[in-house]
Amino acid sequence: VICMVGECADSVGATVGPGSSNNNKMPTLEEYGTNLTKLAEEGKLDLVVDRQQQIDRVIQILGRRTKNNPCLIGESGVCKTAIVEGLALRIATGDVAEHFEGKKVISLDMGLLVAGTKYQGELEERLKKLMEEIKQSGKIILFIDEVHTIVGAGAGEGAIDAANILRPALARVTIALSEISKKVCLNLNLMQCIGATTLDEYGKHIEKYSSLRRRFLPVKMPEPTVDETIQILKRLRERY
């Protein structure tokens, strides 16, 4: 509903890079995503407490040359989304390596993306536009909560599900360049994605698909202990 009345355009941000023009707009990301980095810059995200180890692990995976798409695995309520918000806060405050400077962490609303796609090919078209905008930007880290829902989303007779469209974008491609009689190989990542799901759903919907499983590196999210929960509540109490 918020996206339909136009708030998402503000949260994602209208332009990509300097010299913005209408060609630099990201209408699909604006409609179906929320720019967590922008929210962090505006002070609209809560401080992440006692999850720095997991945030560091996510940053480490994102910085890898291969298999650099982390998937947060844990039960509901273990702060999977908070880890991604913590990453956005780190980027907003500059507490990251140079590689992450200028990156935007965009949370994709899969429910909104799938909503209203009554006819064959509508979801595929939306996803292709989304991938093209991400590719053109080169600065997007996409977060998909309940990432298992991409398997079978929009699938029907003669249709392609969301996972089949996302897999190629998550894969790495190698381009050979010639420079002064020497070939140089550059690994380009078409898209970086952070997924989040439960252990049960990961086993049911992602682990059994080898082509999708290869794209993600699992990050297990343990439940906080009683003492950790008390400390989290104490630190957050002043904000409410």
Q: Looking at the domain assignment, is residue 151 inside a domain?
A: yes
Q: Which two tokens stand for residue 187?
A: 């690994």
Q: Looking at the domain assignment, is residue 158 inside a domain?
A: yes
Residue 82 pLDDT > 50: yes
Which tens digit of pLDDT belongs to each residue from 97-124?
A: 998 999 999 999 988 888 887 776 787 7
Q: Which H or E run includes 59?
A: helix 52-62
Half-sphere exposure of 58 toward its Cβ, with a 13 Å CA cutoff? 32
Mean per-residue pLDDT over the chain, rounded? 76
How confident is the model over 21-41, as a mean pLDDT? 85
Which tens digit of pLDDT belongs to each residue from 140-195?
A: 999 999 888 776 554 544 444 566 556 555 554 333 323 322 222 233 346 799 99
Question: In which band, very low, low, confident or very high, does the pLDDT at 24 lie, cut at 50, 70 and 90?
Answer: low
Q: Looking at the domain assignment, is residue 28 inside a domain?
A: no
Q: Which two tokens stand for residue 195?
A: 């997924």
Pairing of strands 172-179, 182-189: antiparallel
| Of residues 103, 117, 192, the one with CA closest to residue 156 | 117
Residue 80 pLDDT > 90: yes
pLDDT number for residue 66: 84
Q: Looking at the domain assignment, is residue 134 inside a domain?
A: yes
Q: Looking at the domain assignment, is residue 146 inside a domain?
A: yes
pLDDT number for residue 95: 94
CATH number for the domain spanning 159: value is 3.40.50.300
Q: Looking at the domain assignment, is residue 205 inside a domain?
A: yes
Q: How many CB atoms lie within 10 A of CB 204?
A: 13
How confident is the model over 216-227, as a mean pLDDT? 89
Q: Which two tokens stand for residue 103?
A: 């990156």
Domain hosting residue 48, numbered range:
36-237
pLDDT number for residue 200: 92
Q: Which two tokens stand for residue 35?
A: 């720019």
Q: Looking at the domain assignment, is residue 29 inside a domain?
A: no
Q: Looking at the domain assignment, is residue 1 inside a domain?
A: no
pLDDT number for residue 161: 57
| Of residues 57, 71, 13, the one with CA closest to residue 37 | 13
Q: Which residues are CB-neighbours of 3 under 8 A, at least 6 positions away? A: 31, 32, 109, 112
Determine the Cα–Cα distance for residues 98 and 116; give it in Å rounded to an integer. Answer: 40
In the chain, the number of structural domains is: 1
Beta strands in 48-115, from DSSP E residues, in sequence order: 69-73, 104-108
pLDDT number for residue 179: 32
DSSP state of 45: S
DSSP for 178-190?
Answer: EETTEEEEEEEES
For the chain, the residue count is 240
